[in-house]
Amino acid sequence: MEIQRVGVIGAGQMGNGIAHVFALAGYDVRLNDVSQEALENAVLVIGRNLDRQVRRQAITEDEKAAALARIVTTVKSEDLGDSDLIVESATEREEVKRAIFDNLIPHLSPEAILTTNTSSISITRLGAATDRPGKFMGLHFMNPVPLMQLVELIRGIATEEQTFETMKGVVARLGKTSANAEDFPAFIVNRILLPMINEAVYTLYEGVGTVDSIDTAMKLGANHPMGPLELADFIGLDTCLAIMNVLHDGLADTKYRPCPLMVKYVEAGWLGRKAGRGFYDYRGETPMPTR
């Protein structure tokens, strides 16, 4: 199946990045969100990120203008009806994702492929709740989408080989590299990454090190470009907690128990960069550790 028109659902940090890379690769994109304000902000963010690529001479001004022209925003799910491919990138809550697909499916052609950018939820279970489990799979981008080269391709039990091959070709056209992952909790990247972050939070919780010393140790001792607590703030502590809960519930192993300190930060609304506070306080000129 040839993919030409792509509907992206969710105009947040991941959704606007996904719309950006699809439009730059020549796809016609309809970006959908329940919030008009979120859509307007997404277009501004995409424009700024394209400007950065122009300054780095990664793209030309003409390519930037063409990409922006390919993006149309809408708050109406029915406007995505002629899409060949849907990429759902809403909040990491299964009931929200199911409701989005339930609302959208009546407007789509039977041939349209459905994908989700979930970082941890069962692809098999999500696909089984739709009218086309054979044309459903996981398409998990990394954050920030325009910069990160990896896309995890996750097949559910019912995903057809043609669907998989089509999406493998789409990822290649985006200029990214695909990694095939089996449909088990958190797939590959987050199955490895989030327990490391959770362990860093335990290290803080137990007083082994401070925020600064833990991040410095991992950056200089393990050559990580970003410390685990800084990375948790970048991802969003609510997202980190949601993934740890999926791992804990799905694998029934106590090694995946979310650190109580992470739970407390989420309860406080200290979700990281997007909230202005997490393991660092971002409200001043320089981020400062909060513990």
Catalytic residues: 119, 140, 152, 190
What is the rounded (10 degree) CA torsion for 190, 194, 197, 199? -140
Distances (CA, A) of 188 to 119, 140, 161, 225: 10, 10, 20, 20
Copy the structure tokens of residue 70: 């390919």
Please answer whether residues 45 and 18 qualify as being in contact, where contact means their C-beta atoms are separated by less than 8 angstroms.
no
Copy the structure tokens of residue 71: 């993006």
Non-local CB neighbours of 191 within 8 Å, separated by 6+ positions: 184, 185, 247
Other C-beta atoms lying within 10 Å of the C-beta of residue 241: 23
Copy the structure tokens of residue 276: 């202005």
What is the rounded (10 degree) CA torsion for 230, 236, 242, 243? -50
